[in-house]
Chain A
């Protein structure tokens, strides 16, 4: 069964460093999402991406964040200068088309900023 994959499973970085979280969505999916979940808190929407551009982003998704689909298979989330409060689990998700169908979530990347 096709699945969304994410790498790495755990990333440890120093405050101020850049990190890139990688996701490989399911191959025929067209809509892509990033979410984060700070430990013990609810899941939060970061950004949705379709047709090689951002379709929606939340207030959390400020200038420190960017997304890219560099090669037609990977979908990446970059955090330019990490802060302690960026420590969280980051989930990628994809779906075939927007609206009226389910999302498939990746296993998540745990980001720890020291």
Chain B
């Protein structure tokens, strides 16, 4: 079973486009994390959310706890945004569940 579902799996965008990646989860959570995995494999934490909305530069993350849904938005996308974006939820007691990731390619 998949506790975390992401969509789309793959996304190609033109530079400058507004991008949305969605994440739905089925377990109770204490927090939701958005991660970025670079082509070389390294993982960087972008956001940690337990409610509402956070913004960091051109990235915005929102979460709706009642609907068990989160979105990651990228405004004015750039080729350097090309990466895999991973949604991960933190259940009670320090357990984590990961989505399969969204592979984003931004074309100049």
CB within 8 Å of B: which residues of A?
A: 31, 33, 35, 37, 41-45, 48, 50, 55-56, 58, 89, 91, 93, 98-105, 107-108
Contacts and interface: CB of A to CB of B under 8 A. Distances in A.
Contacts, number: 59
Interface stretch (B16-24, B39-47, B68-76): B39-47
A111 to B, nearest CB: 13
A42 B94 contact: no
Interface string B93-105: 1111111110000
Contacts of A100: 30-31, 48, 50
A104 B90 CA distance: 15
B86 interface: yes
B53 interface: no
A86 to B, nearest CB: 17
B33 interface: yes
B61 interface: no
Contact of A91 (B43, B97, B100): B43
B41 A45 contact: no
Top-6 shortest CB links A-B: A48-B94, A102-B45, A45-B96, A105-B43, A56-B95, A43-B98
A98 B43 CA distance: 19
Contact of A102 (B33, B94, B96, B100): B33
B94 A108 contact: no
Contacts of A98: 94
Nearest to B86: A43
A99 B90 contact: yes
B42 A33 contact: no
Contacts of B37: 43
Given A103-B45, A105-B43, A42 B93 contact: no
